């Protein structure tokens, strides 16, 4: 059977159309940062900030610096720790944005970054994450109220960024690990964990009234 050039062109055209249609109909595998994702981060970042501010409002110097025992942190030290932890994490976000999107790296589910111990049944040691250094241990030399100013300034910058960014934050990776959305989940997870620690300090029978 003879196939004319016209017939061949028609067949090839139909195959190309079918392939293009199949490609269009196939679901995209590229992760998307949605408005629901934005709201989830903002709600939790704002709520954790407001709760920390409320728990530390109008504390006296004695209350800021009270320790349950010599080896435990004061509220002042807890807030300082949150501050420099958040400063380090914000730098990681900045670096990830400068590196650009990395869609080729496989995504991990958000559930991996939800706190597995919200009741703080296990006490973490800050130096376990900073070996061989001890920068995770706060010195407590700054005044507590100034640490709150530092904390709210940084947190407000993150909140403003997340309110306005048009980037797909699920395509940017922090240290080739979590995407930026998941990284920000750890911001409020960390804050909520230390909120529990602050409340424990205030419940101690020796806490100044």
Tens of pLDDT along the chain (209 residues)? Answer: 454 545 544 444 444 444 554 444 445 578 999 999 999 999 999 999 999 999 999 999 999 999 999 999 999 999 999 999 999 999 999 999 999 999 998 999 999 888 776 666 567 777 777 888 888 888 888 899 999 999 999 999 999 999 999 999 999 999 999 999 999 999 999 999 999 999 999 999 999 99
* Angle, vertex CA 188, rays to CA 184 and CA 191, nearest 5: 135
Which residues is 179 bridged to in the sheet? 173
Give the whole-angstrom CA distance, residue 142 versus residue 80. 8
pTM: 0.82
3-state helix, strand, coil in the chain (%, to 5): 60, 0, 40
Give the whole-angstrom CA distance, residue 140 versus residue 143. 8
Give the whole-angstrom CA distance, residue 99 versus residue 173. 9
Task: Tell me which CATH homologous superfamily contains domain 33-203.
Answer: dinb family like domain (1.20.120.450)
Q: Where are the domains of the chain?
A: 33-203
Q: Which two tokens stand for residue 155?
A: 């947190």
């Amino acid at each position: 059977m003879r196939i004319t050039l016209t017939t061949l062109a028609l067949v090839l055209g139909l195959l190309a159309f079918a392939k293009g249609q199949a490609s269009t109909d196939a679901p995209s595998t590229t992760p998307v940062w949605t408005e629901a994702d934005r709201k989830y981060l903002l709600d939790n970042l704002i709520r954790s900030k407001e709760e920390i501010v409320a728990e530390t409002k109008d504390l006296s110097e004695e209350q800021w610096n009270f320790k349950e025992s010599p080896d435990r942190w004061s509220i002042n030290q807890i807030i300082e720790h949150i501050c420099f932890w958040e400063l380090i994490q914000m730098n990681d976000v900045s670096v990830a944005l400068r590196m650009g999107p990395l869609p080729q790296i496989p995504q991990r589910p958000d559930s991996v970054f939800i706190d597995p111990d919200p009741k703080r049944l296990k006490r973490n040691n800050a130096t376990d994450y900073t070996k061989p250094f001890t920068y995770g241990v706060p010195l407590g030399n700054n005044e507590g109220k100034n640490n709150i100013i530092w904390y709210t300034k940084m947190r407000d910058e993150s909140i403003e960024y997340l309110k306005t960014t048009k980037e797909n934050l699920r395509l940017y990776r922090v240290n080739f690990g979590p995407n930026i959305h998941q990284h920000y989940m750890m911001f409020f997870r960390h804050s909520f964990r230390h909120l529990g620690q602050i409340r424990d300090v205030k419940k101690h029978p020796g806490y100044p009234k």
